[in-house]
């Protein structure tokens, strides 16, 4: 068995090898932006989950590397296209692909990445190819659906918390679940265990996204890595805001609506005002409790998984670490 650091090292090496090829590959205007997108770094959570999923059942993690790459390339494909749709200028401290190159480059290189992801997936073990490709394709479609719901929600003020949870399940959680389950399948898991692993990923993913919502408003700027209050400033329909809208008194509701419709405002003033309403409604506690519930569900599912406990400890540690980012 490999440690988490050894697994991350393997992932970085594999990504580096791909990138070394892409920076040289013709047409350079297609593969250059691919390499640029892939070299932005990030936590590499998804490929790590593939390898940890595999290691639940097998020591041959190398067999899962192509699948780990497939999922990381797919994830970065979604970033290229989401950044166009969201008109985002920066990601991880650098210009986004459509700003660094052009919108057309980000569209077409993104498209190429979708197929490069499949190319890697097809290098996985042939005996699980059918299951892997079906799971991956289903997941990719669900991620598109999640992104669409997210964009639809921008124009609605009546989004319910259950609609929101379904949206983040699709947009974020299914890919983490797919990563874990794909690894499990490559590791030789039976179907029941693979499905249990998938549910671990779903719960982990929802907890992860809720935690992200919480950090965006209540986090510590230096630890969160981006400026606090972005969601409030942009009227983003997060779990926090949706909950506040559901629970607000008529007066509070009026105040939130006023902030949502204001075209010009002092950024800091808006953040503080909305946070104050959140605080009076106990939104932070409520969100923390929900995160805790999803985390406990995933930890419980992991505990019940019929594999030796030493195979689970790294995944358990990672789950706890992801959910315990400081608020």
Positions that interact with a second copy (CB under 8 A): 26-27, 29-30, 81, 84-85, 104, 107-108, 110-112, 114-116, 118-119, 122, 126, 129-130, 133-134, 137-138, 140-141, 144-145, 147-149, 151-152
Quote the least distance from Cβ 125 to a second copy, whole Å. Answer: 11
Supply the minimum distance, in Å, between the C-beta of residue 167 and a second copy: 10
Nearer to a second copy, 58 or 109 (CB): 109
Q: By C-beta, is 100 or 148 nearer to a second copy?
A: 148
DSSP run (H or E) holding 222: helix 221-224
Residue 64 near residue 47, CB atoms below 8 Å: no
Residue bearing tokens 């997936």: 121
Q: State which residue, 125 or 248, has the beta carbon closest to a second copy.
A: 125
191-218 vs 267-280: helix crossing angle, rounded to 10: 120
Minimum gap (Å) between residue 27 Cβ and a second copy? 4
Nearer to a second copy, 167 or 244 (CB): 167
Helix (H, G, I), strand (E, B) or coil at 94: strand
| The token pair that represents 40 in the structure block | 């932005």
Shortest Cβ distance from residue 202 to a second copy (Å)?
19
Which is nearer to a second copy, 29 or 220 (by Cβ)?
29
In degrees rounded to 5, what are phi and psi of residue 194?
A: -60, -40
- State the DSSP string of 104-165: HHHHHHHHHHHHHHHHHHTTS-GGGHHHHHHHHHHHHHHHHHHHHHHHHHHT-S---HHHHH
Q: 282: helix, coil or strand?
A: coil
Beta-bridge mates of residue 173 = none
- Quick one: tokens of 37? 């997108």
Helix axes 267-280, 239-247, angle to 10 degrees: 60
CB closer to a second copy out of 116 and 200? 116
State in angstroms the smallest separation of the CB of 170 from a second copy.
9
What is the 8-class DSSP label of residue 6?
H
Of residues 106 and 291, the one with the C-beta less far from a second copy = 106
Instruction: Find the shortest distance in angstroms from Cβ 66 to a second copy.
Output: 13
To a second copy, the closest distance from the beta carbon of 291 in angstroms equals: 26
Coil, helix or strand at residue 90: strand
CB of 107 to a second copy, least distance (A): 6
β-bridge partners, 95: 90
Which of 13/138 has CB closer to a second copy? 138
Cβ neighbors of 231 (< 8 A, separation 6 or more) are 213, 216, 217, 238, 240, 241
């Amino acid at each position: 068995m490999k440690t988490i650091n050894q697994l991350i090292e393997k992932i970085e090496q594999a990504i580096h090898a791909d990138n070394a090829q892409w920076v040289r590959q013709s047409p350079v205007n297609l593969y250059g932006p691919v390499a640029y997108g892939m070299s932005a770094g990030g936590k590499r959570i998804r490929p790590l989950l593939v390898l940890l999923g595999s290691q639940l059942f097998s020591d041959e993690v190398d067999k899962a590397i192509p699948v780990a790459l497939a999922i990381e390339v797919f994830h970065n494909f979604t970033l290229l296209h989401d950044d166009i749709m969201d008109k985002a200028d920066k990601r991880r401290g650098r210009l986004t692909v459509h700003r660094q190159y052009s919108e057309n480059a980000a569209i077409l290189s993104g498209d190429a990445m979708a197929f490069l992801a499949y190319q890697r997936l097809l290098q996985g073990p042939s005996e699980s190819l059918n299951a892997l490709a079906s799971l991956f394709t289903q997941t990719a479609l669900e991620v598109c659906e999640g992104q669409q719901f997210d964009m639809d929600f921008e124009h609605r003020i009546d989004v319910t918390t259950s609609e929101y949870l379904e949206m983040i399940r699709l947009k974020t959680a299914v890919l983490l679940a797919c990563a874990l389950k794909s690894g499990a399948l490559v590791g030789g898991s039976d179907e029941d265990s693979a499905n249990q692993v998938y549910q671990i990923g779903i719960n982990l993913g929802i907890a992860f996204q809720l935690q992200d919502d919480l950090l965006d408003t209540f986090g510590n700027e230096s630890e969160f890595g981006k400026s606090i209050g972005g969601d409030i400033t942009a009227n983003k329909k997060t779990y926090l805001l949706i909950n506040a809208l559901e629970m607000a008194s008529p007066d509070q509701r009026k105040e939130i609506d006023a902030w949502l419709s204001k075209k010009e405002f002092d950024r800091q003033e808006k953040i503080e005002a909305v946070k104050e309403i959140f605080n009076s409604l106990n939104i932070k506690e409520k969100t923390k409790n929900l995160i805790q519930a999803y985390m406990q569900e995933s930890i419980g599912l992991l505990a019940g998984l019929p594999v030796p406990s030493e195979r689970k400890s790294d995944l358990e540690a990672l789950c706890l670490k992801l959910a315990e980012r400081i608020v």
